[in-house]
Amino acid sequence: MPAAPTASTPTAKQQWATGLTVFAAVMLVLAGMMDIFRGIMAIAQDDVFLATRGYVFRFDLTGWGWIHLILGVVALLVGFGLFGDARWARIGGVAIASLVIIANFLSLPYYPVWSIVLMAFSGFVIWALCVGRRGASGLSD
């Protein structure tokens, strides 16, 4: 029969919550870095982006660049906050990942593959932050 966990021994539920938070932090940092690079490319008006006509959400490429650059910087900061398991970072992580999904959906025609990858990363971040709740796992603040 296994011994009962002590105060210093984390339970399996606590370990899963910690692992999911670290997973979300890494994914958010990666998504933030990719969004920063994408923003820089768009601001520099790189030829990497596809010009699509007739798209409903058509914006200036430089404007998209600034949007992605700002979202990327915020995502990077929130991602690093998640390594410390800060409550503000957990709430901010869900919010910024949601904004990254929306921004990448709206900019799908400009760089479709990258948009889909970042939307998937952000979806995993939201999932990990919502499933690995500290309150449900018994972790203290």
pLDDT value of position 137: 41
Report the greatest alpha carbon distance in the chain. Answer: 67
Chain-wide mean pLDDT for the chain? 80
Interaxial angle between packed helices 87-106 and 12-43, expressed in degrees from 0 to 180 and rounded to the nearest 10: 40
Task: Write out pLDDT tens, residues 44-56.
Answer: 876 655 556 665 5
Between 5 and 138, the more confident residue is: 5
The domain locations on the chain are 24-46+63-133
Residue 95 has pLDDT above 90, yes or no: yes
pLDDT value of position 138: 42
Q: What is the C-alpha radius of gyration for the chain, rounded to an integer number of angstroms?
A: 18
Backbone angles phi, psi at 28, to 5 degrees: -70, -40
Q: Is the pTM of this model over 0.85?
A: no
